[in-house]
Chains A and B, each alone.
Chain A
Amino acid sequence: MERQIRAVYDALDNGSNKTAIAACQKILKKQPKHELTKTLLALALVRSQKVEEALSHCDEVLAAKPTNDAVLTAMIHVLRGLGRQKDIVSMFEEASKQIPDSEELATQTFLANIRVQNFKAAQQIAGRMHKQFQEDRYIYWHVLSAILQASEPSTSSDMRVLLFKLAHRLITASPTPPYVNADRFHLHLVILRELGLFDEARTLLESEVGKSICAASLACNEVRRDIWRAHGLFEEEGQKAEARITQQNDRNWLEFLSVIDAALLQVESKPEPDEAEKADRSARLTKTRQLFTKLAEDDGLKDRSAALALVELEKRANFYDLSSDPHGLIDVMKHYFELFGDKACCFEDLKPYVSLLEGDDLPQWTAFLQSSIDVSIDNSNVLRKLINAQKLLRYNTPELTLPEESARATQYTQQYLESLIHGSGLPATELQPADDLAILAASSFISIWQLSNDEKHLYNAAALLEFALTKSKQAFQMRLLLVRIYRLLGAPSAALDHYRAMQIKQVQHDTLSHFLISRSSTFSLAASGDLTYHTECIESSQIYISNLQDTGEYIARAFTGEKYSQIPEFILFEDRLEYSLQRDLVKVEDLRIRLTHEPISSDLIDMELIELKFSLDRLHYDNRDFDILANYQPRISASTNDQTLLFGKPEGRGWLTTFLKIYTRAFQQASDLDDTVEEKLLIGDRPKQSSPDAKIPLKDRLHHHLEKDLVELTTDELSFLKYCSTLADWLEPYHDYARPPPAVVLAEAAKLTQAKTGQPLKGVDLPPKNGTAATNGSSKKDEEPPAVVAPPTDLAQFFDDMKARFEAVKAEPSPTMALHVASLTQEACLFFLVESLRFKNPSAVKTNKLGALTQQLKPIRTAALNALRDISASLIKLAETEGTAERRKIFVDGCSPIINSNIDHDFVLNVAKKVTDSRKKVLDGYGKGMARLITTSSK
């Protein structure tokens, strides 16, 4: 027996699920009740996607309330595979009840509750565990569970206080002093901070152990600083900080801020000081100034903290009107620039202060920076200084005009080319010091494009960045910008190449895949069989699976390893990925892509519907990284990110909510699954409904679109939305009438399951064999069918309008807009197919006496197909004009600014070829894909 079981484990480890299944079945023939075998069989089945069969074995094992270690362990995997975390909890609870002396089972029960964020239950378990097993650590488990419970949004503020007080009582009563390790100490501090128990905190912190822990633990020191400041001990904190800076050479910026806060503190509390007060203030200011000046001198070029602290100090002095020197700020800024102007981050360091300069300081500042630009670029230090000066000047540009911006673009380009020599010796893995000049030039061209609406300026930006990338292969900033520009230019394959070159991995998918995937159905050629974007969607979604598998695991490890400081952060992190906005944006985009490729069936509709509804009930976290895109635009202008968004529209919660609603409504109409059926058929746990809107009945939510959501839609997306609503409103009564009643749907599902697994569907009673309910998907109705009315004329009109829209935009040089209109028209046609699927079934139409409706559907369908036919032909024709010498010439001619600055003509020609070839490919592919769709859907 043991040998046979070992063989099953081996097969499972090797991923040979088939072998494992066969081996289990062999054992079960002889010993049909063997629990472990049954569990392993369920596991092998789950792993082979045979969910229904796995379910019945899994349920049997659960019903037997297992306590065997091997069974429990295997069951964790089975249940996780099925998404049934809650069953893991009850399984361990049952086991623990049967063997109350088992510390291991109690631990597992505790951790399983943490896993499903049932902190209250976890807290009670930990409390019992401490009594029973007398381990100190369980006190901390108890304490942390109480804090986690207190931090849940659903906990009232009174309850929160109570829970923290409980935590405090527990921790102070704990037999060992709490500071045997930094994480226990940290937890104690967090409680004292929350409850404002300052004296106790102080005693703790000023003990020898407390001091030594804070010296080596940044995390504890962080809480300590908070506590000190929250108690208004700025003065004392300032002295501590000063000591750290002067005696221990600490250069943490937070210490400098503490010194500044201490110096200027009472200013806020007493807005109208008397003379003595005033004198005191200015003395403090002077003293701090002296301290920083001395430090800055000592540190020289080694560290820039003190020099920048002087700038920060002047800023605050100005703000509170303390400074006697009206030019104090600009003087220290200049000084800072002189010292650190050749560090790449100087621009960023000074940026927050630039907007505070006013009056004659402004021209002075400009002239000062100008002197670092009108220089001969002799070495890379001069170059970096020049770049910083350019960025600072540009940032403060008072007004953007075409001629000035063009002059700047030329200057940046020329300076870029001139300074390349200073990086010529660097290895290929290093960035070039001149890189940012190329990005500045590109930014300038982007602004000119925005001002002039002439696309050729984007050609210049693209070609220059391509050139710069040949010099600096790792310049990801340029690639990101190129991804944006190529999408604007309707050259998606060129964008894709750069995106892929960055080798985005793991968690970066969540933060960066928006660059590629946002509204990518516009460029997807899935209809003609090219699944590139679908594949990218799948790949970028792997991280969410890893999150579910790994993060929970490490939360458990942090408990056993007593790293309490990490646990609340891990839990939030897991949620942020699980409920990531980008995750659902990708899901919707992928659905839009797949609909053009997969046959529209009721299976697809049912599956997607469940997911769509889950997404609608979620409160999303937006983890997307937009700051990564370098922004060197003037502060009066939109950021580079905003300027280069596809269609000039952001895509966020509003867009997502709107599209989720559109899809949910159509799929819900087309589906036979109503809520009661779904409840019965759902296998895994229902996800948390974290959206505040989840309380509003779905039906009401689907009918309403909020203004704040709709601003994220393009005009054409708005028309599409209107079309979808009109279509759904019109068909709603017929769907509601023709949809078979839940009992019939369930009976059908049960029949299918039984046929597949030989087991009845759990919780569903089949109606008696010769009952009244027919099982052919319909049933006798008491009421008459709703009278069939003609469709609103808007529906057919929509397709005519979109055709006209297409005609209007197709001559634009970038095909992006034409593809946008084309893809939405196609999507509208697919929606029509989804909405009319039910009425394609002749027997359903007959039973429901809806024959008249099929007649009414025809003209819309014809209008839809006609529009698609025209657009498809037109796209294919447009494709013929792309990729030609003529088009390349237009591109190259447009690039005269950079060619005149000495970028090689042939190099530009190659970029032109890349862009126009890419346009050709996408136009042709899209047109042909559409043609294919027309053929399949006219059947």
Chain B
Amino acid sequence: MSVLRPLHVDDLFRFNNINLDVWTETYDLGFYLQYLATWPDLCYVQAAPSGRLMGYVMGNAGREGTSSDWHGHVTALTIAPEYRRLGLARSLTTLLELVADAVYTGAFVDLFVRCQNQVAIDMYEGMGYSVWRRIREYYGSLGRGREGRDEEDAFDMRKPLSRDPSRHSVRSNGRDVIVDQA
């Protein structure tokens, strides 16, 4: 039970309960402003009836390199610790997929996730995403942690939308396709 609404820029004054969490990065102002000034329809929050923020997603839409395919991208998805396991991440992602499909006519939605973030990977797999490739040292700036390679590499995960009925954005050996960061 939560209110699903657009992310407003003044939510930045109230997202501390979400962003003080370790997995959630607080970016500079330009980052949020750029997303809102470009893809306001791909940025939403879930709020409690009291108004307290519970979580948010920020996404974008664009074209991959030279390919002509549009696709949606989940840039940040995070739920405050006390509101986890309520299906909020699922509903935020579902709406983003809908808009990526209907408004941006994307062929698929993709996202990057730390290879070590098992909770998130399982969740995405449960939602129909699969690993498309592994990107070396995507989170490299954080240095090699205890968990070694998994901490700095990222999986690029994809989920096909209605314009990809033959599922070109799915491949079974995605985990073995390893690329360097562009």
Contact = CB atoms under 8 A, between A and B. Distances in A.
Given A217-B41, A573-B10, A431 B16 contact: no
Contacts of A474: 21-22
A623 interface: yes
A690 interface: no
B1 A309 contact: yes
A557 interface: yes
B10 A569 contact: yes
Nearest to A571: B9
Interface residues of B, number: 50
A289 B91 CA distance: 25
Contact of B37 (A307, A543, A557): A557
Given A216-B98, A253-B1, A303-B87, A506 B14 contact: no
B46 to A, nearest CB: 9
A502 B21 CA distance: 9
Contact of A628 (B1, B16, B40, B49): B16
Contacts of B2: 252-253, 305
A572 B82 contact: no
Interface stretch (A345-353, A847-855, A856-864, A901-909): A345-353
A780 to B, nearest CB: 55
**Most chain A beta carbons < 10 A, residue from B2, B27, B50, B102:** B2
B180 interface: no
Given A218-B44, A506-B26, A570 B3 contact: no
A387 B95 CA distance: 33
A554 interface: yes
Contact of A254 (B3, B81, B103): B3
B48 A563 contact: no
A471 to B, nearest CB: 15
A133 to B, nearest CB: 23
Interface string B1-12: 111111011101
A222 interface: yes
A572 B10 contact: yes
A511 B10 CA distance: 11
A476 B23 CA distance: 13
A216 B20 contact: no
Contacts of B167: none
A304 B14 CA distance: 24
A623 B9 CA distance: 13
A345 B82 contact: yes
Contacts of B1: 251, 253, 256, 303-305, 307-309, 349
B5 A218 contact: yes
A502 B26 CA distance: 12
A557 B32 CA distance: 13
Nearest to A547: B29
Contacts of B13: 507, 510-511, 576, 623, 625
Given A576-B13, A628-B16, A348 B33 contact: no
A348 B52 contact: yes
Interface residues of A, number: 61
A252 B92 CA distance: 11
B77 interface: no
A627 interface: yes
Contact of B17 (A563, A576, A628): A628
A307 B99 CA distance: 29
Contact of A554 (B10, B33, B54): B33
Contacts of A302: 87
B30 A554 contact: yes
Nearest to B1: A305
B37 A219 contact: no
B41 to A, nearest CB: 6
A551 B29 contact: yes
Contact of A565 (B16, B20, B40, B91): B40
Contact of A558 (B4, B30, B37): B37
A566 B37 contact: yes
Contacts of A797: none
B181 interface: no
A550 B1 CA distance: 36
B19 interface: yes
B83 A251 contact: no
A477 B29 CA distance: 24
A566 B86 contact: no
Given A218-B6, A570-B33, A511 B87 contact: no
5 contacts: A216-B98, A218-B6, A431-B81, A566-B37, A628-B17
Given A251-B91, A550-B28, 15 more contacts: A302-B87, A344-B81, A349-B1, A431-B81, A474-B22, A508-B26, A511-B16, A546-B28, A550-B30, A569-B36, A570-B36, A573-B12, A623-B13, A625-B13, A628-B17
Interface of B: 1-6, 8-10, 12-14, 16-17, 19-23, 26-30, 33-34, 36-38, 40-41, 44, 48-50, 52, 54, 81-87, 91, 95, 98-99, 102-103
